[in-house]
Amino acid sequence: MPSAVVVEHDPAWPARAEHLLRGVRSAFASLAGAEHFVYEHIGSTAVPGLAAKPIVDLQVRMPSLPDLAELADALAPTPFVPARGARRDSPGVYRDTPRPGDRADAALYEKRLFHAPAEAAILHVRRTDSPFAAFVVEFRDWLRHHPDQASRYEQIKRDLAEQHADAPDYDDYTRAKSAFLDEIQPLMRDWARNRTS
């Protein structure tokens, strides 16, 4: 299977995400501050009807990030293990890239990344105050409420997946989606502000 293959939306993805999140929530229950953790299904598999790579993206937001080893120990009963980037600069493995206009404090973008290859799932662990953590949730919700833009995003992803079908990793595919994100970000942020005001 090509590394960046995009498939039709699977209605079972949300239930699979919820099942995996239950396991992560149970694993993290003994961590300090666990009552403040937020567990979320993010990414294209969280948008009804949207085609996606068949990999479920999950996010946990917590007030501060424990060491990778501590999280890995906590996750030992789950299928999640630490993820390593294919390259030293692989996007989104050890830190997120600030979006245009967001605060540039490097500490806010540090993260821990885990994956469960047998479950085709990725777990992003970010700080509660991470601007990027907020961005991915806003983007998910914006696509859910703008099916025309979701369809456009789907076509862009299909085109990029075809271009990068033989790539050894996801990195170029991931970077190539940035042009769409940069274009829609002002519209998305206006929508999010109006929605909460």
Residues 6+ away with beta carbon under 8 Å from 20 = 56, 58, 78, 79, 116, 119, 121, 123
pTM, entire model? 0.90
Is residue 124 included in any domain, yes or no? yes
Q: Return the pLDDT at 26.
A: 98
Residue 182: CB atoms within 10 A of its CB come to 11
The domain that contains 140 carries what CATH number? 3.30.460.10
d(CA 75, CA 70): 9
Domain holding 45, by residue range, is 13-196
d(CA 162, CA 166): 8
Q: What would the pLDDT profile of 45-94 be if each residue is shown by its tens digit?
A: 999 999 999 999 999 999 999 999 999 999 999 999 999 876 666 668 89
Does residue 1 have a pLDDT over 50? Answer: no
Is residue 135 included in any domain, yes or no? yes
Q: What would the pLDDT profile of 134-146 be if each residue is shown by its tens digit?
A: 999 999 999 999 9
What is the count of structural domains for the chain? 1
Is residue 32 included in any domain, yes or no? yes
